[in-house]
């Protein structure tokens, strides 16, 4: 059970893309990094392959540390807590006390 999961809406709170919002594409729990749609873009030089016969420079998302993002609930960035409801552990928004899932 983690505070940020795939398909969550998050706000970046540190780094070059500070204050941007995006959807979480992937979470790597081992390294503590996440991939956020349209944020932390880097340019990669790709060799020609079947998908791109001419090769070239490709722009793609790079992983960002999970500590540099906050979950967005009802348009407001909030910290996340946990509580047990009906024998199930659920995430709770600290700002509003609302159950997230």
Q: What is the pLDDT of residues 3-54, one digit of tens each?
A: 999 999 999 999 999 999 999 999 999 999 999 999 999 999 999 989 889 9
Residue 25: count of CB within 10 angstroms of its CB? 15
At 84 the pLDDT is 95
- What pLDDT is stored for residue 36 in this prediction? 95
Mean pLDDT within 74-89: 93
The pLDDT score that the predictor gives to residue 1 is 60
CA atoms within 13 A on the CB side of 72: 16
The mean per-residue pLDDT over the stretch 94-100 comes to 91
User: Can you read off the two tokens belonging to residue 12?
Assistant: 């970046």
Q: What is the DSSP letter of 100?
A: -
């Amino acid at each position: 059970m983690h505070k940020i999961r795939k398909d969550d809406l998050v706000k970046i709170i540190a780094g070059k893309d500070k204050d941007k919002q995006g959807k979480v594409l992937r979470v790597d729990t081992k390294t503590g990094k996440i991939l956020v749609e349209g944020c932390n873009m880097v340019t990669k030089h790709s060799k020609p392959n079947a998908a791109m016969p001419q090769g070239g420079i490709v722009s793609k998302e790079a992983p960002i540390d999970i500590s540099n993002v906050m979950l967005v609930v009802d348009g407001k960035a909030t910290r996340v807590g946990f509580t047990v409801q009906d024998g199930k552990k659920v995430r709770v928004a600290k700002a509003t006390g609302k159950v997230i899932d």
